[in-house]
Each structure stands twice: as structure tokens, then as C-alpha cells.
Structure 1
Amino acid sequence: MEGMSKPFTFGVELEMMVALVRDEVEGQRKPNPSETRIVVFPSTNEPEDLSNNTRKSKQQFPALFYANRVHAEFRRIIDEAGFPVASSGSDISAWAVVGDTSLRHPAVRDPDIDLEGYDWIGIEVKTPALPFTPESLQAVRDVCSLIKTHFKVLTNATTGLHVHIGHGNFGFHVNDVAKIMAFIYLFAPQLSTLHPHHRWSHTYGGCIRSTSNFSTEFQQMYGKRPSALMTIAKILTTTKRSERQLRYKLADIVHTTFNGKNGNYNFNGIKDVGLKAERPTIEFRQHDGTMDSEQIVQWVQLLVGTLKYIENEDYSAYVRFLSTIADQDKWEKTGDGKDGEREAEKGPTLADDEFTIINLLHYIGLSEQAAYFNDKV
């Protein structure tokens, strides 16, 4: 082992759709009179509240106009349960509730989808930056339970679960940044098997192997993706005169569309020295939306356990392991509808056959997560 990791911290962003009844529509009542959860949201004293709107006919107001009411009720419930509540979405010291206009229900236009008589609005509940402890994981469980008890919520194809992992304000050592990026690039196909196909690559979460800057530029020049071995070699051998320059260069290799925010893995928080970053973290964005607290906790434990392995493993042994696997990696599924044809021609992928995500989890010492996710692949 190289050494011991610094204590980990984490943060979770829960995206969901919330059911509501628009009380300004004359005669509208709860679609289900026996519903005990909050679906009628009371007005607030905020200037933007719908009650202060002077428009005569209010029947056409979309659910978005109820955002401040929904946010206020979520904050009230979380606060009354004893959890600190943030006054703004950028405050990472307390639980925050914010809107997200990218979320919608139904996820696609389909007249056959049953809306149950409700309007729906997308929101995001964000944990504080938490120490990675059993108590913090229990807090996540407790707030998920609170939300499901008090509100009618659902997740769909537009919602995601985003997890930030870091070391508090210390950030990641630059040598570990390269090791982490190489690991994620190499094992992206294995990690993708834990998620539904619509999360493999999408508008707000591009696949690192197809949309990262290095891959995109390589495809433009040679008409195909670079091999996994070629890419991890580039990551691990990149050098610059200063640590700051090296961080930026590494981020430039793996960033999606020259930004990084909309990749399945967001490295924006660690491309600088970390101390100056608002969140010196790696953001894992691929997981689909869920309010299953046990699945959320297991996913957080998987991510922290993976990063702990990467940081602690002897460098020479680590590079040998990555090189051995990369040499066997010949092709990966893309979810474009042609994977069946490729498999018939080339045989099963490494991620589906000889070295699956379950094999990987066992190898890096995460047997509990291997057992939990075994029937979910």
C-alpha cells in the first residue's frame, strides 16, 4: 500500500418530481381524497409567491410558479426534523432545496402516461458536505424517509443522483488525480452496467470514453475511439512544470465538451489546487434518480471505497493491474442499438464476461457492495 487516505467527505444531490395541486384552479381538489401527504402547498410571504401575482386569470399558471411554496414546505419538514437547512442553494454547510427546470414528468411526451390528476414540479435536495461516517449515512436515510413520508414524489428518466466525494477542504493530491482519472476511464464500461442504458451517455452526462476531449479529438483525426490502454497511458504519463498546470492538463484530457460539468464524471472541483474551489470534489453524475435510501448509501460506499483503494494501492502494482485489464479491453457497449451486432461479431465485452463490475468490486475489497449490486447488474 502507498499510504493511508485522508478522511473522506461526501455530498448527495437528490433529484425528484413532486406532485402538487394548483389551488388557483377553481374547483380543483385532491385527485385522491385519502392522500395524506402534502400535495396542496400553502402560500408564503415571499414576494414571488403566486398570491402576490395580479394577473386576473390564474388558471394558466404552470406548476413552476409553485416552486417557492414547494421549496418552503420541504425546508420546513427537514428543519422540524432537526436537520440544518440552508438559506441558499450554494450553502454546503446545511441541507438545501433548489429547483431544476431540466426535470419533468412525464419524461417524454406520452398521452398514455398517468399523471394521477396532479401537476408535477422538479426539485433537488442537496445534503451538506458530510464526513463519511455511519452517522452521516444514517442522516441520508432519515431525510429520504422524511421526504417520502410527507410528499408524493417519484423519479424518472430525467432525474439523477449526483454524489460529490472529496477530502473536505484538502482536495485530492495531484498524483491521485491522475490515478483516479485513469481508473474511471478504464472501468467506465463496468460502472455503466450498474445503470440503465439511458444513463450511459446523455445531455447532462456524457460518456467519458466517447465525449471526453482526448477521445473526441482522436475520433476527429482517426475516425475511431482511442484504445483504453492508449488513454490511460496518456493520463498516467502526462507531465507539466507546475502542479496547477498538471491539474488543468489532466482535466482537459477527460473533460466533456471542454467544460466537464456535463460528463458522467465532473472533475471541475479538482482541476485547481482544491483549496480555492467551492467544492474540491469529484462529482459522480451517472446514477439514475432514486429515493431508495439503501441504494443511495451503497452507491456512496462503493464510490468512497473505490477512491480509497486507488489512493492506497502501491503505484507499481496499481499500474500493472490497470495495464493488464486495459490490454484485454477490446470494445465496449454504447447503448446505440447496435451492441447486439457488435457482440455477434466480436464476442462479449470484457465488462460483461471475464471482468465484470462484480469482479472489480471483489478485487478492490468491496465485497459488501459486490453482494448488494450483484442482482442489479
Structure 2
Amino acid sequence: MAHTTTFGVEFEFCLATLPEGACDPEPYDARQVYTISDTIAVNNGMQSLNILDPILRRHYKERLQNDILQRHIADTLISAGFSAITDEDVRRQYNEALLSGPEPVHYKSWNITTDSSIRVPGEDGTAGVAEYEWCKVEVISPVLTYTPQAIRQVQKVCKLISRRYRILTNEWCGLHVHVGQGSKGLPDYAVKNLAAMIWAFEDRLDLLHPLYRSNDAACNSLYNSAPLSREDNFETDQPLLLIEQIDRILECKTGDQVISLVNDECPSYGSAYNFWNLLSQHSQSSKRTIEFRQHEGTLEAKRVENWIKVCVHLVEFALQIQPDCMGEFLRSVVDEEEYTVEDMLLSIGLPRQVKYYGKALGTKS
């Protein structure tokens, strides 16, 4: 059956700014650091709000600062031909909708926002460049149809931001990739296949990422967090073997049953592989995707491209094969020590990624 694969990306990073008049600690770095934030505008805004409560003052000051910063990044993307919105735009759209306006359209533009889970230098135990005022930024793509043109669009945004601004990504930043079929989600058989593949290959997929992203608090391993990992064989009272766990997934009748085995939070934002948006109860949601959360934060265009392709091809492979054939395939390779991550990439149709990740892994591929 023909299907159209869609994807989206979320970039998390720290962005350096300086108030006007402050001495630039890295004057030979041509990337912009002044006029991104506006201290005078923030102070004027706070005076006009006339808020006395210290907690509310801090909240609104942060919001004003983020609004100005986000507008600067959005204008950078808009000037390059992209559609981009900020948190301020989203608030306005919702307020207009409350007054009988049109419902806000989600994931149609690049969304410049923030993520409080990011820790900037000084918060994360590293000094960074002390003179900078670091800001937490998240950039979320629109829903994109998986095409070479869409990949180039993502790469262009990566290059625009990293060449225009002084940014860094630390251990608190992630690159998240969502994959689905627009608003249709994934059929039950594909959810079973995908979960079974990820369960079988999670240890191999781990090798494509730094050690600190393996079972991190923001991207917990399914092996350690999923309800299935705690199930025992009722006959032997021993933990299920890996192949038995895969069979448990493939025996499920519905995608919801699969998700109850592999994700145990609501929603599962702490899992390396978050299936929660594929639950049937979210059938009216505009975000019917699996979220791949394990990759470390980066705006390096080549790294982003290759990980997107891995995520998409895992989903497309799950869509192409019926569960009985998937079971036969996984049983034939899951316990084979010689079946490497490169073999897995070849199995899902990614010979170029074998070469790319082979170099990263230091193999001969």
C-alpha cells in the first residue's frame, strides 16, 4: 500500500548574547552576539507591566527576553525564505481563536521557542564563556514530506543558525526526530514491526550515539524503562529472553497494546523512543508520530541528515513488511553477535549510512 512518510525535527541549543556596550570576549568570531537580546526593551516592558510579585516579575521578564530573542531568530529564517513563528505569535493565535477566530494551524511553520530542560553554561556545571548571557532555544520544524528537498531545507536551517549565531550544544541538548504519515499515524502492524525492530536493535543503535546518551534521563533505554523489560516467563518465573520479548510485541493485536509494553509514562517524554503520540486516543492529534529522542544535540547538517534517514528508514521498513515476516527476520539475526549496526543499516536500505557511520565507529565500512 502506498504511503507518504512525513517527518519533523526539534533542535535544542544554547545561544550566546551580549548587551550593547559589553566587551566581546571573542572579537574575532564574526557570528552575531549583539542586538539579539534587548535589555532596554525588556526593562521598559517590565516598567509598563508594573508587576510587584517577585516570582511573577521573573516569569514575565524571562518571557519578554525570550520573545525578543525568538523574534530575532525567526526574522533570520524569514529573510531566507522560510515561514517562522515565535511563542508570542502562538499566544496571539490562541487569543484570536478564543474570540471566534480560526483555530491555530500547528506545525506549518518553523517554530522558535524555548525548552526549560536545557541547562546553559553556568547551570550545567561547565563555565563556558563567562561573559556571555546564554539563552535556551528550541527550533521545531513544520511537518515535512520526506523528500531530498525537505532534507535540504533542514540542512539550510542548520547552516543559517550555526553561521549566524554563536551557539553550543551540551549534554542537556538533544536532536529529536518525529516520523509518521502526516495526520494518519501508523497502522497497527507497522507499530508492532517498529517496536520489535527497535527492541531487537536498541543495543546496536546505541553505538551511533555518545555513551552519555545511552539511558540518559531524557532518553531512557527501553530495555531499562519499559514494562516489557520487567515481565517474567510465567512457566519458569525467569526474565523473558530477548527473542521472547520480541515475540510478545509481535503477538499484540493492536498498536495500543504494543505501546503499553514499550512506553510506561504519560506521555513518554523520557524514553529514547516515544510511541505515545501513536495511541488511538490521539487519533485527532496533528502529531501522530514516533519520536526518536536519543541523538545528542547538534546543528551539524550532515549529522542531522544521516540520523533523519535512519529514523525514516526504520519506519518505512516497518511499513513494508508484515509482522510474520518481520518475526522471521528478527529471529534470524537478533542473537547473532556478528550482526553489526552496519548490517542493520544495510537491512533497512541505507548503504551510504553504513559508510558514514562506519567512519564514525572506526570500522572498515
Q: TM-score range by the shorter chain?
A: 0.7 to 0.9
Residue 184 of structure 2 aligns to a residue in which SS?
coil
Call closer, same or farther: CA 1:42–1:189 in 2, change over 3 Å: closer
Which residue of the partner structure matches residue 223 of structure 2? 209
Residue 189 of structure 1 aligns to a residue in which SS?
helix
State the alpha-carbon separation in 1 of the partners of residues 319 and 28 from structure 2: 53
Identity percentage of aligned residues: 26
Which residue of the partner structure matches residue 373 of structure 1? 357
1:215-258: CA deviations, max 9, x gaps?
A: 14559xx998532212111111123xxxxxx3322211000445
Which residue of the partner structure matches residue 343 of structure 2? 359
Deviation at 1:34, TM superposition (A): 4.0
Call closer, same or farther: CA 1:172–1:22 in 2, change over 3 Å: same
Which consecutive unaligned segments of at least 5 residues does structure 2 have?
Answer: 51-57, 92-104
Among candidates 32, 37, 42, match of residue 31 of structure 2: 37
Call closer, same or farther: CA 1:213–1:5 in 2, change over 3 Å: farther
Deviation at 1:201, TM superposition (A): 0.8
Q: Please, what TM-score do these two structures have when normalized by structure 1?
A: 0.80
Which residue of the partner structure matches residue 309 of structure 1? 317
- What is the one-letter code of the residue matched to 2:353? Q
Deviation at 1:114, TM superposition (A): 3.7
Call closer, same or farther: CA 1:84–1:319 in 2, change over 3 Å: same
Deviation at 1:273, TM superposition (A): 6.6
Residue pairs, 1:73-222, within 5 angstroms? 73-86=72-85, 87-88=89-90, 91-106=106-121, 109-110=124-125, 113-115=127-129, 117-216=131-230, 218=232
Deviation at 1:324, TM superposition (A): 2.1
Call closer, same or farther: CA 1:213–1:314 in 2, change over 3 Å: closer
Among candidates 276, 292, 298, match of residue 268 of structure 1: 276
Call closer, same or farther: CA 1:268–1:142 in 2, change over 3 Å: same
- What is the one-letter code of the residue matched to 1:204? A
Asked whether the equivalents of residues 159 and 288 of structure 1 are also in contact (C-alpha less than 8 Å), the reply is yes
State the alpha-carbon separation in 1 of the partners of residues 264 and 203 from structure 2: 17
State how many pairs are aligned.
333
- What is the one-letter code of the residue matched to 1:85? A
Which residue of the partner structure matches residue 334 of structure 1? none
State the alpha-carbon separation in 1 of the partners of residues 109 and 174 from structure 2: 21
State the alpha-carbon separation in 1 of the partners of residues 106 and 30 from structure 2: 31
State the alpha-carbon separation in 1 of the partners of residues 287 and 10 from structure 2: 13
Asked whether the equivalents of residues 200 and 246 of structure 2 are also in contact (C-alpha less than 8 Å), the reply is yes
Which residue of the partner structure matches residue 72 of structure 1? 71
Call closer, same or farther: CA 1:315–1:52 in 2, change over 3 Å: closer
Greater share of helix: 2
State the alpha-carbon separation in 2 of the partners of residues 36 and 174 from structure 1: 51
Give the stretch that moved more between structures: 31-40 or 169-178. 31-40
Call closer, same or farther: CA 1:146–1:216 in 2, change over 3 Å: same
Deviation at 1:214, TM superposition (A): 2.1
Which residue of the partner structure matches residue 55 of structure 2? none
State the alpha-carbon separation in 1 of the partners of residues 358 and 14 from structure 2: 28
- What is the one-letter code of the residue matched to 1:376? A
Which residue of the partner structure matches residue 100 of structure 2? none
Deviation at 1:268, TM superposition (A): 1.2
State the alpha-carbon separation in 2 of the partners of residues 257 and 170 from structure 1: 23
State the alpha-carbon separation in 2 of the partners of residues 107 and 298 from structure 1: 32
State the alpha-carbon separation in 1 of the partners of residues 225 and 232 from structure 2: 11
Q: Please, what TM-score do these two structures have when normalized by structure 2?
A: 0.83
Which consecutive unaligned segments of at least 5 residues does structure 1 have?
Answer: 56-60, 240-245, 330-349
